[in-house]
């Protein structure tokens, strides 16, 4: 195919001449198709590596292309997109043959057809047929690009729906082996910590949202599955960075631009995607309760919203405060519980607490440090003092007798 031939135009033919050449082309169609298949086997290793079924479908496409050329030559004015050539093969073939391989298929078939036209047609027909196959090859090339563009668009839409189903299963606590299999098809490989982050959905509907999220999180070696559920965006994150709350919050901080305005809450890390529903439950509870703490950092851990969640009716938050904060404090002994009560009642005054307990101020300081070690909350910090006060109240309300019955 020379530059001169690319710019050439087919001479005007009478209807009788065109019909005669079309008849001769039909007579050599089978020969050209067989030669094209043989050339592909000899030239392309990827073709020989295909199974028999897909090799046969490639042959069918090649023959359809040759037949399409003959039909097009018979009536060049007829509207044709060239898509009919590729419609003969099943859609599954596009998943086994890349666009690059399809271009090689088209190029090889066209070159074989050009050669056979020179060998098998009468000398007077050759220039006309040569220019025609060049023009037709352009149409086929555009058709191939359109087929793969449509396939990519369809695959992208299906992937988004599949991803949304996986995230929805995690939120509803219905994660099973089938969900894990679906997640793996989306590129999920995390086998360490998993956590869920939720916030307002972004303005607009950007079809590239999932891809951009995966690319950004991937730089931190973190897997992500995302879904927009109404007015909220839910992210399921997996990777070593989620193992520690601070590093998890730092990671989500890099993804804040993908959320809409308002609070973004990160649930606690769990060991596996199967257990991620508990993280999602905590994160969603935190998102609902975050309105009660307007000064909360963004993002914020669901554990930092325990008081607001408890007041909003979250039974899990109430039990966490009662058993995970108040419980260890009560079991520790050493006057820690009494010191905390006295300290809070004295307006967080060390001297006031010491007078109330009839102990030295340094004793109060020591016990306050022990309280922070046991509970993870510093009584001298206003926010932590609020959490501890709530834990004291709930710990007294939710006693051992009601532990098994508090399921609200």
CATH number at 359 reads 1.10.10.2840
Which of these three, 303, 334, 358, is where a domain ends? 303
Q: Do both 32 and 110 map to the same domain?
A: yes
- Measured over all CA atoms, what is the biggest interatomic distance in the chain, rounded to whole angstroms? 119
Q: Do both 139 and 221 map to the same domain?
A: no
Q: C-alpha angle 209/213/216, rounded to 5°? A: 140
Q: Do both 197 and 288 map to the same domain?
A: yes
Whole-number Å distance between alpha carbons of 330 and 325: 9
Which of these three, 303, 328, 362, is where a domain ends? 303
Whether the pLDDT of residue 1 is over 80: the answer is no
Q: Do both 81 and 146 map to the same domain?
A: yes
Q: Is 48 a domain residue?
A: yes
Q: Is 9 a domain residue?
A: no
Domain tally, the chain: 3
65, 70, 73, 75: CA torsion to nearest 10: -100
Q: Do both 219 and 249 map to the same domain?
A: yes
Strand order in the sheet with 300-301: 223-229, 232-238, 194-200, 264-266, 300-301
CATH number of the CATH domain containing 196:
3.30.70.260
Whole-number Å distance between alpha carbons of 152 and 398: 56
Q: Is 214 a domain residue?
A: yes
Assess contact for 397 and 322: CB atoms under 8 A. yes
Residue-wise pLDDT tens digits, 112-150? 888 888 888 888 888 888 888 877 777 776 666 665 555
The residue among 373, 182, 167 whose CA lies nearest residue 283 is 167
State the pLDDT at residue 284.
Answer: 94
Taking the whole predicted model, whether its pTM rises above 0.75 is answered as: no
Assess contact for 108 and 40: CB atoms under 8 A. yes
Q: Is 12 exposed, middle or buried (0-12, 13-18, 19+ CB in 10 A)?
A: exposed
Residue-wise pLDDT tens digits, 198-225? 999 887 666 677 778 888 888 888 888 8
State the pLDDT at residue 307.
Answer: 95
Q: Do both 290 and 319 map to the same domain?
A: no
Q: Is 168 a domain residue?
A: no
Q: Do both 204 and 81 map to the same domain?
A: no
Q: Do both 107 and 232 map to the same domain?
A: no
Q: pLDDT exceeding 90 applies to what percent of the chain?
A: 32
Which of these three, 254, 275, 303, is where a domain ends? 303
Q: Is 336 a domain residue?
A: yes
Q: Is 38 a domain residue?
A: yes
What is the span of the domain harbouring residue 289?
Answer: 192-303
Residue-wise pLDDT tens digits, 165-200? 888 888 887 777 777 777 777 678 877 889 999 999
Whether the pLDDT of residue 89 is over 80: the answer is no
Q: C-alpha angle 225/226/228, rounded to 5°? A: 160
Whether the pLDDT of residue 233 is over 50: the answer is yes
Summarize the confidence of residues 299-314 as an average pLDDT.
Answer: 94
Return the half-sphere exposure (C-beta side, CA atoms, 13 A cut-off) of residue 255.
Answer: 38
Q: Do both 148 and 19 map to the same domain?
A: yes
Q: Do both 222 and 96 map to the same domain?
A: no
- Count CB neighbours of 319 within 10 A: 18
- The H or E element containing residue 64 is helix 52-74
**In 174-291, which residue ranges form alpha helices assigned H by DSSP?**
177-185, 209-218, 245-253, 276-289
Q: Do both 374 and 245 map to the same domain?
A: no
Q: Do both 217 and 288 map to the same domain?
A: yes
Assess contact for 280 and 287: CB atoms under 8 A. no
Assess contact for 303 and 269: CB atoms under 8 A. no
Q: Is 174 a domain residue?
A: no
In 81-204 the beta strands, taken as DSSP E runs, fall at 194-200
């Amino acid at each position: 195919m020379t530059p001169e031939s690319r710019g050439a135009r087919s001479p005007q033919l009478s209807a009788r001449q065109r019909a005669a050449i079309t008849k001769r082309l039909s007579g050599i169609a089978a020969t050209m198709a067989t030669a094209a298949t043989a050339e592909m086997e000899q030239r392309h290793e990827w073709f020989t590596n295909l199974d028999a079924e897909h090799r046969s479908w490639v042959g069918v496409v090649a023959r359809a292309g040759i037949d399409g050329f003959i039909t097009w030559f018979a009536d060049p004015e007829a509207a044709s997109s060239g898509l009919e050539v590729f419609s003969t093969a099943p859609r599954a073939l596009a998943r086994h043959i890349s666009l690059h391989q399809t271009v090689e298929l088209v190029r090889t078939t066209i070159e074989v057809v050009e050669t056979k036209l020179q060998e098998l047609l009468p000398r007077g027909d050759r220039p006309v047929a040569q220019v025609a196959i060049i023009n037709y090859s352009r149409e086929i090339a555009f058709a191939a690009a359109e087929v793969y563009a449509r396939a990519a668009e369809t695959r992208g839409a299906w992937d988004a729906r599949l991803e949304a189903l996986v995230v929805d299963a995690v939120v509803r606590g219905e994660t099973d082996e089938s969900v894990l299999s679906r997640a793996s098809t989306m590129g999920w490989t995390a086998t360490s910590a998993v956590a869920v982050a939720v916030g307002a959905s972004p303005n607009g509907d950007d079809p590239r949202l999932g891809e951009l999220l995966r690319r950004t999180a991937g730089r931190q070696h973190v897997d992500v599955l995302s879904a927009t559920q109404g007015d909220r965006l839910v992210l399921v994150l997996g990777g070593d960075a989620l193992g520690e709350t601070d590093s998890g919050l730092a990671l989500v901080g890099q993804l804040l631009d993908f959320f809409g305005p308002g609070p973004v809450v990160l649930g606690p890390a769990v060991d596996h995607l199967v257990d991620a529903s508990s993280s999602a439950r905590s994160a969603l509870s935190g998102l609902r309760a975050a309105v009660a703490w307007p000064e909360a950092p963004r993002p914020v851990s669901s554990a930092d919203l325990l008081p607001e969640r408890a007041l909003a009716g979250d039974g899990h938050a109430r039990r966490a405060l009662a058993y995970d904060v108040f419980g260890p404090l009560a079991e520790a002994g050493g006057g820690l519980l009494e010191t905390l009560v006295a300290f809070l009642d004295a307006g967080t005054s060390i001297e006031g607490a010491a007078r109330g307990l009839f102990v030295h101020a340094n004793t109060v300081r020591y016990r306050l440090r022990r309280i922070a070690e046991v509970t993870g909350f510093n009584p001298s910090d206003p926010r932590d003092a609020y959490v501890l006060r709530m834990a004291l109240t709930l710990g007294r309300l939710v006693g051992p007798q009601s532990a098994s019955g508090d399921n609200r």
